Amino acid sequence: MSLKSCLKNLETNKTYLPEKYNNKIGWHSLKWFPMNASSMDDLVNMQFTQFAKITRTMIEDAKFCCDYCEHVVVKNNNVRFLRNKHGKVDAIKNLILRMKNLPNLELLLCDHDICAPPKHLWNHTRCGNLYPIFGHSSSIPDTSPPLVFQRNIIMIPENTFYQSYGSNNKDWDYTKSILGNKYKWSEKKNDIFFRGNKRNFIEYIDNKTGFLKVNNTNVRFKHKDYKTFDFVPMIEHCGFKHLLQLPGCWPSHSSRLKWLLACKSAVIMTQNNWYEYWYPLLRPFESFIPLENVALTNALNFDKVELCLRNYDDEVSKIADNGWNVVQSVSYKFHELYTRKVFVKYSKLLL
């Protein structure tokens, strides 16, 4: 038997949750993000599957429906930011300013995880049209607002590659090179570790011990309700063999995946369709360990998940190495080349 078959056997014992969790199940999704890219060109082409051309009308619709977006115009190597927005967009604005010989462009830059129009415009005719918005994350579009607007997203690098949060070093190239070297595999603790908001639907965590209360398992959670561990530096995450990635709280996504993979620990990811532009380079059971929608199980099967991980430690170690290798390739140079290729392709579609 393999790790995959061991975890597959757990899916026959699902714990379905009450009606009140339906919105959380939807947020975590019963689908996976795309995992079919093998090159940078694949990643670039994936951003334009919905756009055969980009017209002046589409740009005007984007300006109208995303009034909180930064409006960027590049003409003859002169860059102008017409709305003077700050915050998360600063990182990509600085990247644009560093890039030389860009094609002439006009685009809308969004710093929200869900780049939907203001609610009063959801049913406006113009906002029902297809129009391009540049954003740092996306999902498989839904058929109703606000997620229907995800169909408009052209993805660019996420801001935390360039901006520091907590004690994570803001120099991504440096950070990814050192995190995985702190501990040997044999030195790491054989637990599942998570730090962050417990997302409300994982309800069985002991706030005094930080342990998940499932059959006395030693699955260790640290979360915001557990005050002693409100902040855990990423380097301390790396001391665990198994790191859990949850997709985030509505209406945002979690941007920590890159750091978890850089720990050279095996990343456990629960089923979700939210992703950044580079996620499609990942492969299940090759560079990360997929689990079913955690909103269906309330994490009640994590003791058995951990048992599978321990029984197939050699396989799990290889997955950790592969995930580390993927994220090592996602460097500043990779980001800039990808962004340039996206801008060039976008400019060729402009009419």
Residues 144 and 128: their CA atoms lie apart, in Å, by: 11
Question: Which run of H or E residues covers position 349?
Answer: helix 332-349
Alpha-carbon distances of 336 from 106, 140, 191, 221, 343, rounded to whole Å: 18, 25, 37, 36, 10
3-state secondary structure of 326: helix
Q: Does 241 share its domain with 140?
A: no
Question: Quick one: pLDDT at residue 327?
Answer: 97
3-state secondary structure of 336: helix
Contact 71, 83 (CB under 8 A): yes
Kindly give the confidence (pLDDT) of every residue in the chain, 351 residues in length, as a single tens digit, with 9 standing for 90 and above.
899 999 988 875 555 444 544 555 555 567 899 999 999 999 999 999 999 999 999 999 999 999 999 999 999 999 999 999 988 889 899 999 999 999 999 999 998 888 999 999 999 999 999 999 999 998 887 777 888 899 999 999 998 898 765 555 668 999 999 999 999 999 999 888 877 655 544 555 554 544 444 433 344 554 444 444 456 788 888 999 999 887 776 666 788 899 999 999 999 998 888 899 999 999 999 999 998 877 666 666 777 888 899 999 999 999 999 999 999 999 999 999 999 999 999 999 999
Question: Quick one: pLDDT at residue 286?
Answer: 98
Q: Does 218 share its domain with 269?
A: yes
Q: Does 194 share its domain with 318?
A: yes
Residues 213 and 77: their CA atoms lie apart, in Å, by: 58
Contact 221, 210 (CB under 8 A): yes
Q: Does 74 share its domain with 195?
A: no
DSSP secondary structure string, 259-317? Answer: HHHHTTSEEEEES--EE-TTGGG--BTTTBEEE--HHHHTTTTHHHHHHHHHHTHHHHH
Q: Does 204 share its domain with 247?
A: yes
Residue 178 belongs to domain with CATH number: 3.40.50
Residues 209 and 218: their CA atoms lie apart, in Å, by: 11
State the residue for tokens 């830059």: 109
Q: Does 83 share its domain with 145?
A: yes
Question: Quick one: pLDDT at residue 13?
Answer: 53
Q: Does 89 share its domain with 227?
A: no
Q: Does 342 share its domain with 325?
A: no
pTM of the model: 0.89
3-state secondary structure of 91: helix
> CA nearest 34: which of 327, 295, 268, 283?
283
Q: Does 16 share its domain with 58?
A: no
> CA nearest 325: which of 180, 151, 135, 225?
180
Q: Does 241 share its domain with 309?
A: yes
Residues 151 and 133: their CA atoms lie apart, in Å, by: 9
Q: Does 7 share its domain with 130?
A: no
Contact 262, 181 (CB under 8 A): no
Question: Quick one: pLDDT at residue 173?
Answer: 93
What's the domain count of the chain? Answer: 2
Contacts of 210 (CB under 8 A, 6+ apart): 220, 221, 222, 223, 226, 228, 229
- From the CA atom positions of the chain, what is the Rg in Å? 21
Region at 51 (left for phi over 0; alpha for psi -120 to 50; beta for the rest):
beta
Residues 304 and 300: their CA atoms lie apart, in Å, by: 9
Domain limits for position 275:
3-31+165-330
Residues 125 and 147: their CA atoms lie apart, in Å, by: 17
Give me the amino acid identity at 98: R
Q: Does 92 share its domain with 144?
A: yes
